[in-house]
Amino acid sequence: MLTLTLIGLPFVAALLLLLVKGDGVKNIAFVAALAEFVVAMVAVSQFSPEAGAQFAANYPWIASAGINFSVAMDGISLLLVILTTLLVPLIVLATFGHNYRNPSAFYALILFMESALIGVFTAQDAFLFYFFWEAALIPIYFLAGIWGGKDRIRITFKFFVYTIFGSLFMLLALSYLYFQTPGTHSADIKAIYDLTLDANEQSLLFWALFIAFAVKMPVFPFHTWQPDTYTEAPAPATMLLSGIMLKMGIYGLIRWLMPVVPAGVAEWGPTAIVLSIIGIIYGSVIAVRQNDMKRLIAYSSFAHVGLMSAGVFSLTTNGLQGAVIQMLAHGINVVGMFFVIDIIASRTKTRDLERLGGITQTTPALSVCFLILLLGSVALPLTNGFVGEFLLLSGLFEYNPWYSAVAGLTIILGAVYMLRMFQKAMLGDKVEAAEPFTDLTFSEKAVLFPLVLMVFWIGLYPNTFLHMTGPAVADILTKFKSL
């Protein structure tokens, strides 16, 4: 029932928002998102990690075809639900400084998106998963396409076609799996996990599924939509894309790829790792050269996600746990950073590093928050990024030390581009554009302080979360023990 509430609440709230006109919309959206967070916290309080998938709800959906509306949460799902329900209210709060036109549609789309995202993270039926997967795309397409920047039409369309194209192959793969299930067929995740497929089938299925997830994350060479889309989308859409939607890809790998085609993963996983590592280096090197702050973070996000995907394919407990905790950490950091950039951009009317400088002088609160989030991203010890990247790299090390060494460059390169950004934008002489720069307002603080708190929480005591996901991760890895 809790899972259903989590999916239904934002959906209903979004429908109601469509009926409301005027400025109150923001507040209603925020309250709804906050209520959603409270529900998620209730779920957390009742959660027991060892019990596997819980809070289950299962109703026949297309009864004649054995397709059910089946949702439940295990540790990994719950972690992502926490991430989603934590970030969405903050993202809504982050828009309080702006006045987007047609606000009821704008906030309704955000809440629709939240509902679909939670559906993706909790679906226990292959087709339900696909359904939510695509349903999450529609709101973000309109958010980016209607409220985005100058070149939004072309870019968001590219993003849209690109991701749909990837997902269609996933649909084929899932349908194929569905028909392999015995009897009258079932799309239930357990039935699909129990299939025995030959090596050739598994290889084909691996690619059909992997491409869908790789486009979403994105992994090299499927990333070309990402920097443009992140740059052109309005700030809240960018936060949704990078903070949560990107995790759909990683989650897909963990839930719908690895346990489903273990032999395929064993055969092609190494290729996927190489692609991911290319992405890490490639993204980082390009990020060093960027002057548009949003674009810089977009490339850094591309690099980070590469490491997560490599960690997943290392097939080690550390790698997988690292990927899971890093999903949470990255979501927090990247949303925080995009918000800081949004603040800077709306006050100075530019995101160009060459035209910024000296912002620290009048903004102690903003500077400190920015620095903490940035150091979290660079994986400084005591911050959330460190926990994630350390686990990821140690997982990768177990798999192959050389890969780990190369992937480890991400930390060094990360420090280079992040600190360069901070230095150029925040330090030095104050430029004209930054002249009347006021420090954080109350609502901005309300966004950034919780994020900063989370940076330290995960950095200092990651066990809160690792404890939650441990059994679920172990469960997935048992599939590989026999190989």
Partner 1 sequence: MLSIILLSIFGIVCLFLGFLKSKQVLLPAAMLFVATAFVVNALDWNRPVSYLNNMMAINNVSVAFIGIILLSALLILPLTQRYINDARAQLAEYYAILIFSLVGAIMMVSYENLIMLFIGLEILSVSMYVLTGSDKRNLKSNEAALKYFLMGAFATGILLFGIALLYGATGTFTVSGISNYVANNPTGISPLFHLGLLLVLIGILFKVSAAPFHFWTPDVYDGAPSIFTAFMSTVVKTAGFAALYHLLGVAFTGVYTFWGMTVAVITVMTLAAGNLTAVYQQSFKRMLAYSSISHAGYLLIAVVAFNAQSQEAILFYSLAYSLATVTAFGVLILVADQNAIDGRPNEDYGAFNGLAKSNPFLAFALTVSMCSLAGIPLTSGFFGKFFIFISAIEQHMVWLLVIAVLMSAVGIYYYFRVVIAMYMREGSTQTITIAPLYRLILIITTILTLLLGVAPGIIKGMV
Q: Which residues bind partner 1 (CB under 8 A)?
A: 60-65, 127, 130-131, 134-135, 138, 142, 145-146, 152-153, 157, 160-161, 164-165, 168-169, 171-172, 175-176, 178-179
Cβ nearer to partner 1, comparing 142 with 220: 142
State in angstroms the smallest separation of the CB of 216 from partner 1.
Answer: 15
Residue 123: CB minimum distance to partner 1, A: 12
Shortest Å distance, C-beta 204 to partner 1: 8
Judge contact between 447 and 339, C-beta under 8 A. yes
Distances (CA, A) of 458 to 312, 329, 378, 444: 20, 7, 14, 22
Nearer to partner 1, 74 or 228 (CB): 228
In whole angstroms, what is the distance from residue 483 CA to residue 312 CA?
Answer: 17
Query: Which is nearer to partner 1, 42 or 62 (by Cβ)?
Result: 62
Choice between 165 and 461, CB closer to partner 1: 165
Helices 401-426 and 384-399: crossing angle, nearest 10°?
160
CA distance 64 to 55: 25
- Distance in Å, CB of 376 to partner 1, minimum: 35
Separation of alpha carbons 227 and 232, rounded Å:
9
As measured in angstroms, the least distance from the Cβ of 148 to partner 1 is 9
Output 138 or 274, the one with its CB closest to partner 1: 138
- Angle at Cα 363 formed by Cα 362 and Cα 366, nearest 5°? 165
- Nearest approach, Cβ of 214 to partner 1 (angstroms)? 16
For the CB of residue 135, give the shortest distance to partner 1 in the complex, in Å.
5
3-state percent helix, strand, coil for the chain, nearest multiple of 5: 80, 5, 20
We find the least distance from the C-beta atom of residue 244 to partner 1, in angstroms, to be: 19
Listing DSSP states for 427-473 in one string gives: SSSPPGGGTT-----HHHHHHHHHHHHHHHHHHH-THHHHHHHHHHH
Largest Cα–Cα separation, the chain: 72
**Cβ proximity to partner 1, 12 vs 172, nearer residue:** 172
Least Å distance, CB 272 to partner 1, is 21
Nearer to partner 1, 127 or 220 (CB): 127
* Least distance in angstroms from the C-beta of 129 to partner 1: 11
377's CB contacts (< 8 A; 6+ apart) are: 300, 304, 330, 333, 334, 337, 385, 414, 418
Burial class (CB in 10 A: 0-12, 13-18, 19+), 52: middle
In whole angstroms, how close is the CB of 161 to partner 1 at the nearest point?
6
Nearest CB to partner 1, comparing residues 207 and 480 = 207
Q: Are 28 and 81 in contact (CB under 8 A)?
A: no
- Contact between residue 291 and residue 352 where contact means Cβ atoms under 8 Å apart: yes
> What string of DSSP letters covers 305-320?
HHHHHHHHHTTSHHHH
Q: How far apart are CA 204 and CA 151, in angstroms?
A: 37
Give me the least distance between CB of 458 and partner 1, in Å please.
Answer: 34
Per-residue tokens: 38: 């409270």
Would you say 69 or 370 has its CB closer to partner 1?
A: 69
Comparison of 245 and 277: residue with beta carbon closer to partner 1: 245
- Decide whether 1 or 63 has the Cβ nearer to partner 1: 63
Q: Which tokens sit at 469? A: 């996901």
Which one, 30 or 131, has the nearer CB to partner 1? Answer: 131
**How far, CA to CA in Å, does 435 sit from each of 129, 293, 344, 360, 421?**
49, 19, 12, 11, 19
- Residue position matching structure tokens 């490491």: 307
Cα separation, 231 vs 214, whole angstroms: 20
The residue among 98, 91, 102 whose CA lies nearest residue 32 is 91
